[in-house]
Amino acid sequence: MIDYISLSYWDLALGAIFILINGVISIAFRLGLAKKLFIVALRMVVQLSIVALLLKAIFAISSPWLTLLVALAMGLFAGREIYARQDKKLSGLWGYSIGAGSMMIAGILVTTIALTTQIQPDPWYKPQFALPLFGMILGNTMTGVSLALDNLTTTLNREQKAVEALLLLGKTRWQAMLPFVRGALRAGFMPIINAMAAMGIVSLPGMMTGQILSGVDPAEAVKYQILILLLIGGATGLGVIGATLASAYRLSDDRDRLRLDRLKTTK
């Protein structure tokens, strides 16, 4: 029997004391962060409370179409975050669709494979398993894709003359852009590489900690965490590679020209 410890609202209120302490420190040092701390903490509580109510209703219905609809909504919001985090971005629909599309394809593919072959809930689309798993994969893939795209567009814009010089020397667009594509891929892979390298030594991941606190055997919690990290790493890689290559393709043409006119700068 799992030894489950329920938290009261008073327990949460006690946890909020530390945010209040941070606010007092901000006021004392005139950091100007007290108001922002209060707002983000309140926003977090409201958002998570609403999510809890929505998930409770979704879990009760357990519809594959509703689960898919929620997953798509999560992907659309994540795509907006990718778009917003880029200083220089592709103009038009391309600016949103490349990042969001690559991330969602990778996330849905990896999540579906994990649910049908490894975790195997009954039914396989059961929202209690599908949505949290997809959310973890999506969030980490979003970070990798946004970093890769921002790195690619920023460095290509900065090194425009170097790329065009290589093109004038007879290099193809892929040969001229390869160093910058590699740099973007490294930037996109770095967060998940750092997370996996530090796991278990520097940090204990939230999902594993939550399972242990709820009474799950640590060995079982570790197995789930290893699986999640492997899935996140796979999805991040697929999303980063797809988004980077698609953006490089869009920022050049069949005549081996660099097309930075397809970029727009965030004001």
Which runs of E-coded beta strand occur in 99-235?
none
What is the pLDDT, as a whole number, of residue 3?
A: 59
Mean pLDDT, to the nearest integer, of 115-129? 93
Query: Dihedrals φ, ψ of 135, to 5°?
Result: -65, -45
Task: Tell me how far apart the alpha carbons of residues 182 and 137 are, in angstroms, rounded to a whole number.
Answer: 23
For 229, the token pair is 């990290």
Query: Where does the pLDDT of residue 265 fall: very low under 50, low under 70, confident under 90, or very high at 90 and above?
Result: low
For 62, the token pair is 């357990």
- Among the three residues 9, 41, 61, which one is the final residue of a domain in this structure? 61
For 131, the token pair is 């949505």
- Among the three residues 61, 79, 99, which one is the final residue of a domain in this structure? 61
Residues 108, 55 share a domain: no
Task: Tell me how far apart the alpha carbons of residues 83 and 76 are, in angstroms, rounded to a whole number.
Answer: 11
Task: Tell me how far apart the alpha carbons of residues 173 and 190 are, in angstroms, rounded to a whole number.
Answer: 26
Residues 155, 200 share a domain: yes
Which runs of E-coded beta strand occur in 59-148?
88-90
Chain segment 193-232, per-residue pLDDT in tens: 998 888 877 777 777 777 777 778 888 888 988 999 999 9
Residues 174, 48 share a domain: no
Residues 8, 72 share a domain: no
Residues 70, 126 share a domain: yes
Number of domains within the chain: 2
What is the pLDDT, as a whole number, of residue 219?
A: 87
Task: Tell me how far apart the alpha carbons of residues 185 and 238 are, in angstroms, rounded to a whole number.
Answer: 11
What is the pLDDT, as a whole number, of residue 68?
A: 93
Dmax over CA atoms of the chain, in Å, equals 71
What is the pLDDT, as a whole number, of residue 90?
A: 92
What is the pLDDT, as a whole number, of residue 163?
A: 93
- Does the pLDDT at position 241 exceed 80? yes
Residues 218, 94 share a domain: yes
Residues 177, 107 share a domain: yes
- Does the pLDDT at position 240 exceed 70? yes
- Among the three residues 9, 33, 61, which one is the final residue of a domain in this structure? 61
Residues 217, 124 share a domain: yes
What is the pLDDT, as a whole number, of residue 198?
A: 83
Residues 25, 148 share a domain: no
Task: Tell me how far apart the alpha carbons of residues 228 and 200 are, in angstroms, rounded to a whole number.
Answer: 14
Q: Which of 134, 141, 128, 138 is nearest to 113 (CA)?
A: 134
Residues 45, 35 share a domain: yes
48: helix, strand or coil:
helix
Mean pLDDT, to the nearest integer, of 161-186? 94
Residues 67, 32 share a domain: no
Determine contact, residues 250/149, Cβ cutoff 8 Å.
no
- Does the pLDDT at position 2 exceed 70? no
What is the pLDDT, as a whole number, of residue 46?
A: 94
Query: Where does the pLDDT of residue 266 fall: very low under 50, low under 70, confident under 90, or very high at 90 and above?
Result: low
Residues 240, 212 share a domain: yes
Task: Tell me how far apart the alpha carbons of residues 19 and 97 are, in angstroms, rounded to a whole number.
Answer: 38
What is the pLDDT, as a whole number, of residue 213?
A: 76
Task: Tell me how far apart the alpha carbons of residues 218 and 212 are, in angstroms, rounded to a whole number.
Answer: 6
222 vs 149, residue with greater confidence: 149
For 224, the token pair is 């789930």
Chain segment 251-261, per-residue pLDDT in tens: 999 999 999 99
CA distances from 128 to 55, 99, 213 (A): 8, 27, 19
Determine contact, residues 167/159, Cβ cutoff 8 Å.
no
Q: Which domain holds residue 99?
A: 63-265
Q: What is the mean pLDDT of the chain?
A: 91
CA atoms within 13 A on the CB side of 172: 6
124 vs 211, residue with greater confidence: 124
